[in-house]
Chains A and B, each alone.
Chain A
């Protein structure tokens, strides 16, 4: 049952016939883990908490820095030097006190990844390095969990839903089906080196949150077995199939 005050909070999405009370109840029962509370993790967690996802875990070991603030919109100037996961939890609790928000001030490692992911139904990857991305992908494959992937560089972003359960009971493509092996050192520059437009992770993060809401509620077509690239310079998308 959705308590009476919550009906007003979520009324504008519950009014959509294809979403309805059933969609809201599915969100309320969902447990979602956001790994990385940076440019992608901020908008993703804001939208999921606002939408009424019952439990949201936020993993980040980093501290807020001045160079984060042009794109990491959960944080304010006075938060510089504070742990991102804890500041994010505090801000998100004020956004929606009905949600259970868990701050995990840690880095996913080979030792802890299975334990951290174990308690959640759905995982979102918004980390900033390939080591973490391959570790999270492989852990989701091992645990048979769906992974919503987002990544950004300069003016472009990628979005995909990996390892999603298919109608025939098998699992869909995962990150290694696109890029089988991690790049070597210096083969791909990160955001600190290559740069990123501040608004871009907002767009890609909103797309990730949309995929999460679709996956949880069963509404629409998940971006499974495909990877989408969005270009902020011309608003064009380019979608390729992963076989």
Chain B
């Protein structure tokens, strides 16, 4: 599946888009990403699945598109 990173999260991941092998749900995905990019654990962001923000653990498929969106403060 495709995972997109926005804003200062790309300072951590270096790439704005990463291909990840299928995982069952967003909690599993987060665990995987935090293992791969440890600095994500201290970052603030929300998760969108298929372009909708989700709050609860959400099932994912091979075709899911996941985005990690941080808040921006700059004006």
A189 close to chain B: CB less than 8 A? yes
Q: Which residue, A125, A156, A196, A242, has most C-beta atoms of chain B within 10 A?
A: A156
Closest to A201 in B: B75
Q: Distance in Å from the Cβ of B53 to the closest Cβ of chain A?
A: 5
| A151 with B71: CB separation less than 8 A | yes
* Chain A residues near B11 (CB-CB < 8 A): 194
Contact B71 A238 (CB under 8 A): no
Chain A contacts for B6, CB-based, 8 A: 156, 229, 231, 238
B interface secondary structure, majority? loop
Produce 1/0 per residue, A69-110, CB < 8 A to B: 000000000000000000000000000000000000000000
Is A41 a contact of B75 with CB atoms below 8 Å? Answer: yes
B60 within 8 A of A: no
List A contacts of B75 (CB < 8 A): 36, 38-41, 125-128, 150-152, 191, 201
Q: Which residues of B contact A243 (CB under 8 A)?
A: 52-53
A178-B72 contact, Cβ under 8 Å, with A154-B7, A240-B52: no
Interface contact B53-A240, CB-CB below 8 Å? yes
A130 contacts B by Cβ under 8 Å: yes
Interface size on B, residues (CB 8 A): 22
Q: Is there contact, CB below 8 Å, between B52 and A130?
A: no
Chain A residues whose C-beta falls within 8 Å of the C-beta of B52 in the assembled complex: 240-241, 243
A190 at the interface (CB under 8 A from B): yes
> Is the pair B7, A153 in contact by a Cβ cutoff of 8 Å?
yes
Cα–Cα distance between A203 and B69 once the two chains are bound (Å): 20
User: Nearest chain B CB to A42's CB is how many angstroms away?
Assistant: 10
**How many residue pairs between the two chains, A and B, have CB atoms under 8 Å in the bound complex?**
92
Closest B-chain residue to A242, C-beta based?
Answer: B53
Question: A123 CB to closest chain B CB, in angstroms?
Answer: 14
Given the complex of chains A and B, what is the CA–CA distance between A39 and B48 in angstroms?
Answer: 28
CB-defined contacts of A187 to chain B, threshold 8 Å: 42-44
Q: Within B49-75, which residues are at the interface with A (CB < 8 Å)?
A: 51-53, 67, 69-75
How long is the Cα–Cα vector from A129 to B75 in the complex, in angstroms?
A: 8
Cβ of B28 within 8 Å of any chain A Cβ, yes or no, is no
Given A153-B8, A240-B51, A241-B51, check contact A130 B73 (CB 8 Å). Answer: yes
Is B46 positioned at the interface, with any CB of A under 8 Å from its CB? yes
* Bound Cα distance A157, B71 (Å): 10
CB pair B53 A152 closer than 8 Å = no
Chain A residues within CB distance 8 Å of chain B? 36, 38-41, 125-130, 133, 150-154, 156-158, 178-179, 183-184, 187-191, 194, 196, 201, 227, 229, 231, 238-243
Could you list 7 examples of A-B contacts with CB < 8 Å? A39-B74, A128-B73, A151-B71, A152-B74, A188-B72, A188-B73, A191-B73
Q: Which 3 A-B pairs have the closest CB atoms?
A: A191-B74, A151-B72, A240-B48
